[in-house]
Structure 1
Amino acid sequence: MSQWKQIQQLEMRLLEHVDYLYDDNFPMDIRQVLASWIESQDWETAVNDDTVAVVLFTNLLSQLEKVRIQEQNFLQKHNMKIIQQQLQLKYSTNPTVMARVISTCLREERRILSSACTQEQGPLERSIQNSVAFERQKNMDNRLGVIRGSVQLMDQAVKYIEDMQDDFDFRYKTLQSRESTDRNSDMMKEEVTRLQEMLNRLDFKRKEIVSKMDVVIKEIDDLMTSQLSPELHDWKRRQQIAAIGGPLLTGLDQLQSWFTLTVQSLFQIKRQLDKLGELVVKVTYESDPIPLQKPQLEERVKYLIYHLIKSSFVVEKQPCMPTHPQRPLIIKTGVQFTTKVRLLVKLPEVDYQLKVKTTFDKDLPPGRVSRQFFILTNNTKVMDIEDYSNGCLSVEFRHLQLKEKKYINGTKGNEGLLSVTEELHSLSFEACFTVQGLTIDLETCSLPLVVISNVSQLPGGWASVMWYNLLTNEPRNLAFFGNPLRANWSQLSEVLSWQFSTFAGRGLNKEQLAMLVEKLLGQHASCGDYQVSWSRFAKENIPGKPFSFWMWLDSILDLIKKHLLPVWNENYIMGFVSKEMERALLKDREPGTFLLRFSESHLGGITFTWVEHSENGDVKFNSVEPYTKNRLSALPFADIIRDYKVISDGVVPENPLKFLYPDIPKDEAFGRLYNSQPSKGKIIKLFAPIHTLNPHPHLTTTTPNMYELSLFTISSPKASTTSSSCQSPEPPMTPGEFDMLNEHLCFDIDTMSSPYSE
């Protein structure tokens, strides 16, 4: 079943989350009509390869054109034409952006499907996806609507005051121009009385407008403090969660709308105050409220504008190497990385020649880290309006590169205080913003970064990134790993499940997570929400093993992604199950029932175990040596399961794997995953397994994990099968037979699955 069909079968709660994925950047109409084609393309590669992105963009337009031509409904055909035009306008100059949008949507769909399988959201996901958040947003929209309405009314009030003052000014100057002899007349007295009434009314209106401005400014101040700042803070927290595999980050366009509406209201009030200042120059009087209160109101407005714009300067995309898009915040020296900053205020009068400068480890206290770096490439770019988005002001640095500083005499200072992957660094961004006579220095910084010099340090660096962003929302706590916090298993397990849904398309269920916590913390740990130390998770070796818990788990992730993805996504790999539980599950099953689990003794290995029942009722469990990525690179795992055969004591070789646990016929489970035809030919090379409870004594070990091979010649259906170790040598082989035998031997020795007892 296609991913999109699975999505459409989700419950309404999850479908609402899917709905948030799609907008004008990637309309759901496209996802619907091109579902199969979209899912068959390599969008992740296109994100990092301009050539592939151009090809996919062109092909997508062609696919849409075919759909449009075949569409019979006139309205749908019209809508398709509009969508085509919008896509060409947005992405024709930068198709990698489209690839990134689609790749992100597909990834988030997989995560939502994964969460549907677990039947339960974890604490982190519940905290950022709940109805309370939607209510807050609705309340924010309502409050901003009221503020905008009040500001518009104040505009009309200022205009009314201006008209009143012009009328008063005209009458007053007309009265002054009269002859002095006429000033004592009754008509003049009436005119003076009328002017006094007008001045009283003008004074009342001035006091009223100043009072209303004070109320609206207080309302904006409260809005910024109680709602807008917390919403921005929540978005930054969600960005941290999204960076480590959590739900798709959304809401920045909504934030920009709120920031823009708020700052527009403030600038409008500022213009109203300027206008009142002009009116005072023409007409003023004793106890005039405008000169008394205007300076204070102006200072408050400028203060709010200043802080609103400063907080609107954000890192939209955290630093990330294009070669590892799913593991941001890890930078390798000498490798280009990208990042993007954005201004969440959209004003037509802004000078768009806004230069942004990047600095690495700005103002870092001396002695904090043992290594220091500098940006090797151009670190200054100009912000511009994005034509393909909602017109936001942003800049993307796509070719930044770090280089380590050289030290005199080779000394690095405090070397050894922290490991390379525990040292945290920061990338800062600075700009100077000028608008309507106000000059504002902008500065923001990335989340803490890990800098590596070798790709082998990537797993350790990712462990640090996950741990930091799981446990703290401080943007720049670079000393975090000097005394790292502990993690609750309920939160850590959710993040670990995200790694599998992000990298492998399907997260972990409760049973798999229960086995992981037992492996990490010991038996019975799954009974409570235990705390896990950083050292236990990533630094200490698993008892009796030469690697840590995280290195073991990360190697499994890598194995799934590169060699087991189809089998994993079909939910055929039980994966994380102890040997004791494995035997408990298999002992009462039909002979030949097998299950797949990850090796506990090898990094990045998968093994399978099947059950046999002897005539006297004994149960035997058979395991093979784990398959690692080196061995799986030659033959797909599904084909290995199909072609696996065992010989024992001269018996005709057969495949002992009959049913995938609990009772799925092997070919029914794996049939559509087979990539090649079964081996055909005259000569077949096989080997016998060592039963974990009853080893075969006739096998002799020649080298570690290698066993004496038994070769069989099958000449015809009636021919007898004999062991080469028990019979006299066969007649000399023909050259063709020799070549065939040599081909099989070379192939099988590299890819065979040796019997093994874990």
Structure 2
Amino acid sequence: MSQWKQIQQLEMRLLEHVDYLYDDNFPMDIRQGLASWIESQDWDTAVNDESMAGVLLTNLLSQLEKLRSQEQNFLQRHNMKIIQQQLQLKYTANPAVMARVIATCLKEEQRILSSACMQEQGPLEKSLHNSVAFERQKNMDNRVTIIRGSVQLMDQAVKYIEDMQDDFDFRYKTLQSRESSDRNSDMMKQEVTRLQEMLNRLDFKRKEVLSKMDVLLKEIDDLMTSQLNPELQDWKRRQQIAAIGGPLLTGLEQLQSWFTLTAQSLFQTKRQLDKLGELIVKVTYESDPIPLQKPQLEEKVKYLIYHLIKSSFVVEKQPCMPTHPQKPLIIKTGVQFTTKVRLLVKLPEVDYQLKVKTTFDKDLPPGRVSRQFFILTNNTKVMDIEDYSNGCLSVEFRHLQLKEKKYINGTKGNEGLLSVTEELHSLSFEACFTVQGLTIDLETCSLPLVVISNVSQLPGGWASVMWYNLLTDDPRNLGFFGNPPRANWSQLSEVLSWQFSTFAGRGLNKEQLSMLGEKLLGQHVSCGDFQISWSRFSKENIPGKPFSFWMWLDSILELIKKHLLPVWNENYIMGFVSKEMERALLKDREPGTFLLRFSESHLGGITFTWVEHSDSGEVKFNSVEPYTKNRLSALPFADIIRDYKVISDGVVPENPLKFLYPDIPKDEAFGRLYNSQPSKVHPYIPSTLIPISELRSNASTTPTMCRSPEPPMTPGEFDMLNEQLCFDIDTMSSPYSE
């Protein structure tokens, strides 16, 4: 079943999240009409390959044109034509942006499908999708709209004062032009009285406008302090969660709208104050409120503009190597990485030559880390307008590269305090912003980075990135791993499930997480608030094993991603189950019932165990030696299940695997995953790789499971070796034990 069909079967709560993914950047009409084609393309690769992205854009437009030509409904054809034109206009200059948008939507669909397998959302995801947050945003929309309306009304009030003042000025100058002999007449006295009344009204209106401006600026100040800044911090927190596999990061366009509308209100108020300053040049008087109150209001406006724009300078895309797009915040020396900053305030007065400079470890305290780095490539670029993001200013650094500094006599200082993957670094961005006579120094920084020198350090680095972004929202806590806090299992289990939905397409269900929890916590797994230390998760070896819990789990993720994806996504791998639980599940099942689980003794291994019943009623369990990436490179796992054979004391080989637990016929479960047999090409007879194990029995031992040859053998190879009595296979005295 296609991913889009699965999406359409979700409950309404999850469908609302899907609806939130699609907008003008990627209309749902396209997702619906071209579902199969879209899911068959490699959008992830295209994100970092402009030429491939260009081809995909051309093909997408072609597919859309074909779909439009087949549409019978006139209105639908018209809408498709508009969409086609908009996409062409928006993405022709930068097709990789389109690839990123579509890839992100597809990944988020996978995550939503994964969450549907869970009986309930985890605590982190609940905190990101709750009614309080939506109500808060609606309230924010209302307040910003009310403020904009108040500022517009203030324009009318200032214009009214200007008209009133012009009328007063005209009458006053007309009175002054009269002959001095006429000034004592009754008519003149009446005119003077009228002018005094006009001046009183003018004074009242000036005081009224200034008072309303003061109230308005206090309202904007409160909006920024109590709502806008918290919304920005909430977005930054969601960015952290998205970085470690959580829900899709959304809301930046909404933030930009709030920031821009608030800035426009402030700049419009500043112009109104400037206008009032012009008015007192023509008419002023004793106790005139404008020269008394205007300086204070101007300072308040400048203060608010300064802090609004300063906080609007954000890292839109955290540093990431294109070679590992799903593991941001890990940088390998000598490998290019990308990052992007954005100014959320969109104003026509902006100096478009706004230069941004990036610096590595700018404010790192001396002695904090044992290694120091510098940016090898150009570290300064000019911000530009992005048409596809509603005209905001942004700049993307696509070719940054780090190099480690050399040390005299080879000493690094403080070496050994933290491991390489526990050292945190930071990338800073600086710019000088000038607008309407105001000069603002902008600065922001990335989330903490882990710098590695070898890909073997990548799993450890990713563990650090996950732990940090799970447990703190402080972007500058570079000493975090000097004393790392503990994590609750309820939090950590949710993040671990995200790793599987991100890297393997399907997250973990409640039962699988419970099995994982037992491995990590033992009997404490039932306590969702049980605390797990950083060392126990990533540094200490599992008792009796030469590797840590995280190294074991990460190796399984790699195995799924590279060799088991189809089987995993069909939900056929039980995965995390102990041998004891495995036997309890299988003992009452039909002979030949088997289940698939990950090896507990091998890094990145999968095994299967099947049940047999002897004539005496004895239950026997047989487990095959785990298949690792080396063995699975030779033969797809579904074909291993199909062709697996067991030789028992010279009896013709047979496949003992009959039913996938609990009772699914093997071919019914795996049939569509089998590779088709190669066609016969004269004069050769096609051969098939067959995984084989040997079971032998004798007077002193029970029938046992034996290791299958590595790599699997063709039938011809097996017969030849068997005839020569050189079949190289171990005979074990007991079933394979992990």
Q: TM-score range by the shorter chain?
A: over 0.9
User: Which one is further off, 745-754 or 470-479?
Assistant: 745-754
- 1:495-520: per-residue Cα shift (whole Å, max 9, x none)? 00000001111111111111111111
Question: Against the structure 1 CA distance between its residues 128 and 607, is the aligned structure 2 distance closer, same or farther, given a 3 Å change threshold?
Answer: same
User: Which one is further off, 466-475 or 59-68?
Assistant: 59-68
Question: Against the structure 1 CA distance between its residues 707 and 20, is the aligned structure 2 distance closer, same or farther, given a 3 Å change threshold?
Answer: closer
What is the deviation of 1:43?
Answer: 1.0
Paired residue secondary structure (2:511)? helix
- 1:690-717: per-residue Cα shift (whole Å, max 9, x none)? xxxxxx999999999998899xxxxxxx
Paired residue secondary structure (1:359)? strand
Match of 1:747 among 719, 727, 732: 727
CA distance in structure 2 between the partners assigned to 1:743 and 1:83 by the alignment = 69
CA distance in structure 2 between the partners assigned to 1:166 and 1:756 by the alignment = 99
Q: Please say if residues 634 and 711 of structure 2, whose CA atoms lie closer than 8 Å, have aligned partners that are also in contact.
A: no
User: Which one is further off, 177-186 or 478-487?
Assistant: 177-186
Q: How does 1:215-614 map to 2 (within 5 A)?
A: 215-614=215-614
CA distance in structure 2 between the partners assigned to 1:590 and 1:257 by the alignment = 62
Question: Against the structure 1 CA distance between its residues 528 and 117, is the aligned structure 2 distance closer, same or farther, given a 3 Å change threshold?
Answer: closer
Unaligned runs of 5+ in 1: 680-695, 711-717
- 1:113-170: per-residue Cα shift (whole Å, max 9, x none)? 0001112100000001111111111111111111111111110000000011111111
Paired residue secondary structure (2:314)? strand
Question: Against the structure 1 CA distance between its residues 424 and 737, is the aligned structure 2 distance closer, same or farther, given a 3 Å change threshold?
Answer: closer
Q: Please say if residues 707 and 729 of structure 2, whose CA atoms lie closer than 8 Å, have aligned partners that are also in contact.
A: no
What is the deviation of 1:491?
Answer: 0.2
What is the deviation of 1:388?
Answer: 2.1
CA distance in structure 2 between the partners assigned to 1:449 and 1:293 by the alignment = 48
CA distance in structure 2 between the partners assigned to 1:37 and 1:60 by the alignment = 9
CA distance in structure 1 between the partners assigned to 2:46 and 2:453 by the alignment = 26
**Which position in structure 1 is the counterpart of 2:21?**
21
CA distance in structure 2 between the partners assigned to 1:720 and 1:699 by the alignment = 43
What is the deviation of 1:98?
Answer: 0.9
Q: Please say if residues 706 and 754 of structure 1, whose CA atoms lie closer than 8 Å, have aligned partners that are also in contact.
A: no
- 1:383-434: per-residue Cα shift (whole Å, max 9, x none)? 0111222111100000000000011111101111000000000000000110
Q: Please say if residues 627 and 753 of structure 1, whose CA atoms lie closer than 8 Å, have aligned partners that are also in contact.
A: no
Question: Against the structure 1 CA distance between its residues 499 and 65, is the aligned structure 2 distance closer, same or farther, given a 3 Å change threshold?
Answer: same
Question: Against the structure 1 CA distance between its residues 727 and 137, is the aligned structure 2 distance closer, same or farther, given a 3 Å change threshold?
Answer: closer
Question: Against the structure 1 CA distance between its residues 527 and 743, is the aligned structure 2 distance closer, same or farther, given a 3 Å change threshold?
Answer: farther
What is the deviation of 1:78?
Answer: 1.0
Q: Please say if residues 22 and 28 of structure 2, whose CA atoms lie closer than 8 Å, have aligned partners that are also in contact.
A: yes
Q: Please say if residues 646 and 656 of structure 2, whose CA atoms lie closer than 8 Å, have aligned partners that are also in contact.
A: yes
Question: Against the structure 1 CA distance between its residues 726 and 536, is the aligned structure 2 distance closer, same or farther, given a 3 Å change threshold?
Answer: closer
Question: Against the structure 1 CA distance between its residues 4 and 743, is the aligned structure 2 distance closer, same or farther, given a 3 Å change threshold?
Answer: farther
What is the deviation of 1:528?
Answer: 4.4
What is the deviation of 1:525?
Answer: 2.8
CA distance in structure 2 between the partners assigned to 1:55 and 1:719 by the alignment = 68
Paired residue secondary structure (2:324)? coil
Question: Against the structure 1 CA distance between its residues 105 and 651, is the aligned structure 2 distance closer, same or farther, given a 3 Å change threshold?
Answer: same
Paired residue secondary structure (2:523)? coil
- 1:73-103: per-residue Cα shift (whole Å, max 9, x none)? 1111111111111111111121111111111
Question: Against the structure 1 CA distance between its residues 754 and 329, is the aligned structure 2 distance closer, same or farther, given a 3 Å change threshold?
Answer: farther
CA distance in structure 2 between the partners assigned to 1:114 and 1:705 by the alignment = 33
Question: Against the structure 1 CA distance between its residues 206 and 405, is the aligned structure 2 distance closer, same or farther, given a 3 Å change threshold?
Answer: same
Paired residue secondary structure (2:125)? helix
Paired residue secondary structure (1:748)? coil
User: Which one is further off, 549-558 or 144-153?
Assistant: 144-153
Match of 1:736 among 716, 721, 724: 716
- 1:231-273: per-residue Cα shift (whole Å, max 9, x none)? 0010000000000000000000000000000000000000000
Question: Against the structure 1 CA distance between its residues 174 and 233, is the aligned structure 2 distance closer, same or farther, given a 3 Å change threshold?
Answer: same
Determine whether 1:700 maps to 2:680.
Answer: no
RMSD over aligned CA atoms reads 5.6
What is the deviation of 1:735?
Answer: 16
CA distance in structure 2 between the partners assigned to 1:291 and 1:129 by the alignment = 50
What is the deviation of 1:731?
Answer: 27
CA distance in structure 2 between the partners assigned to 1:322 and 1:734 by the alignment = 40
User: Which one is further off, 718-727 or 16-25?
Assistant: 718-727
- 1:526-553: per-residue Cα shift (whole Å, max 9, x none)? 3442100000000000000000000000
- 1:615-647: per-residue Cα shift (whole Å, max 9, x none)? 111100000100000110111000000000111
Q: Please say if residues 506 and 569 of structure 2, whose CA atoms lie closer than 8 Å, have aligned partners that are also in contact.
A: yes
What is the deviation of 1:317?
Answer: 0.4
What is the deviation of 1:374?
Answer: 0.4
CA distance in structure 2 between the partners assigned to 1:285 and 1:729 by the alignment = 103
- 1:457-495: per-residue Cα shift (whole Å, max 9, x none)? 000000000000000000110000000000000000000
Question: Against the structure 1 CA distance between its residues 225 and 722, is the aligned structure 2 distance closer, same or farther, given a 3 Å change threshold?
Answer: closer
Question: Against the structure 1 CA distance between its residues 274 and 725, is the aligned structure 2 distance closer, same or farther, given a 3 Å change threshold?
Answer: closer
Question: Against the structure 1 CA distance between its residues 751 and 84, is the aligned structure 2 distance closer, same or farther, given a 3 Å change threshold?
Answer: farther
Question: Against the structure 1 CA distance between its residues 749 and 372, is the aligned structure 2 distance closer, same or farther, given a 3 Å change threshold?
Answer: farther
CA distance in structure 1 between the partners assigned to 2:624 and 2:655 by the alignment = 13
What is the deviation of 1:650?
Answer: 2.1
TM-score (norm 2): 0.94
User: Which one is further off, 158-167 or 81-90?
Assistant: 81-90
Q: Please say if residues 650 and 723 of structure 1, whose CA atoms lie closer than 8 Å, have aligned partners that are also in contact.
A: no
Aligned length: 735
CA distance in structure 2 between the partners assigned to 1:267 and 1:183 by the alignment = 46
Q: Please say if residues 360 and 426 of structure 1, whose CA atoms lie closer than 8 Å, have aligned partners that are also in contact.
A: yes
Question: Against the structure 1 CA distance between its residues 158 and 615, is the aligned structure 2 distance closer, same or farther, given a 3 Å change threshold?
Answer: same
Q: Please say if residues 624 and 757 of structure 1, whose CA atoms lie closer than 8 Å, have aligned partners that are also in contact.
A: no
Paired residue secondary structure (1:746)? coil
Question: Against the structure 1 CA distance between its residues 701 and 139, is the aligned structure 2 distance closer, same or farther, given a 3 Å change threshold?
Answer: closer
What is the deviation of 1:755?
Answer: 7.5
Identity within the alignment, %: 91
CA distance in structure 1 between the partners assigned to 2:314 and 2:491 by the alignment = 27
What is the deviation of 1:283?
Answer: 0.8
- 1:652-687: per-residue Cα shift (whole Å, max 9, x none)? 2110000000000000000000013299xxxxxxxx
Q: Please say if residues 460 and 538 of structure 2, whose CA atoms lie closer than 8 Å, have aligned partners that are also in contact.
A: yes
CA distance in structure 2 between the partners assigned to 1:731 and 1:546 by the alignment = 25
Question: Against the structure 1 CA distance between its residues 145 and 162, is the aligned structure 2 distance closer, same or farther, given a 3 Å change threshold?
Answer: same
CA distance in structure 1 between the partners assigned to 2:283 and 2:468 by the alignment = 61
Q: Please say if residues 650 and 721 of structure 1, whose CA atoms lie closer than 8 Å, have aligned partners that are also in contact.
A: no
What is the deviation of 1:757?
Answer: 2.4
Q: Please say if residues 693 and 706 of structure 2, whose CA atoms lie closer than 8 Å, have aligned partners that are also in contact.
A: no
Question: Against the structure 1 CA distance between its residues 74 and 240, is the aligned structure 2 distance closer, same or farther, given a 3 Å change threshold?
Answer: same
Q: How does 1:655-734 map to 2 (within 5 A)?
A: 655-677=655-677
CA distance in structure 1 between the partners assigned to 2:523 and 2:700 by the alignment = 52
CA distance in structure 2 between the partners assigned to 1:753 and 1:383 by the alignment = 70
Q: Please say if residues 90 and 389 of structure 1, whose CA atoms lie closer than 8 Å, have aligned partners that are also in contact.
A: no
Paired residue secondary structure (1:609)? strand
Q: Please say if residues 158 and 276 of structure 1, whose CA atoms lie closer than 8 Å, have aligned partners that are also in contact.
A: yes
Question: Against the structure 1 CA distance between its residues 300 and 577, is the aligned structure 2 distance closer, same or farther, given a 3 Å change threshold?
Answer: same
User: Which one is further off, 135-144 or 732-741?
Assistant: 732-741
CA distance in structure 2 between the partners assigned to 1:285 and 1:325 by the alignment = 67
CA distance in structure 2 between the partners assigned to 1:66 and 1:748 by the alignment = 58
Q: Please say if residues 632 and 751 of structure 1, whose CA atoms lie closer than 8 Å, have aligned partners that are also in contact.
A: no
Question: Against the structure 1 CA distance between its residues 645 and 385, is the aligned structure 2 distance closer, same or farther, given a 3 Å change threshold?
Answer: same
Question: Against the structure 1 CA distance between its residues 652 and 248, is the aligned structure 2 distance closer, same or farther, given a 3 Å change threshold?
Answer: same
User: Which one is further off, 490-499 or 283-292?
Assistant: 283-292
- 1:309-342: per-residue Cα shift (whole Å, max 9, x none)? 0000000000000000000000000000000000
CA distance in structure 1 between the partners assigned to 2:516 and 2:60 by the alignment = 42
TM-score (norm 1): 0.91
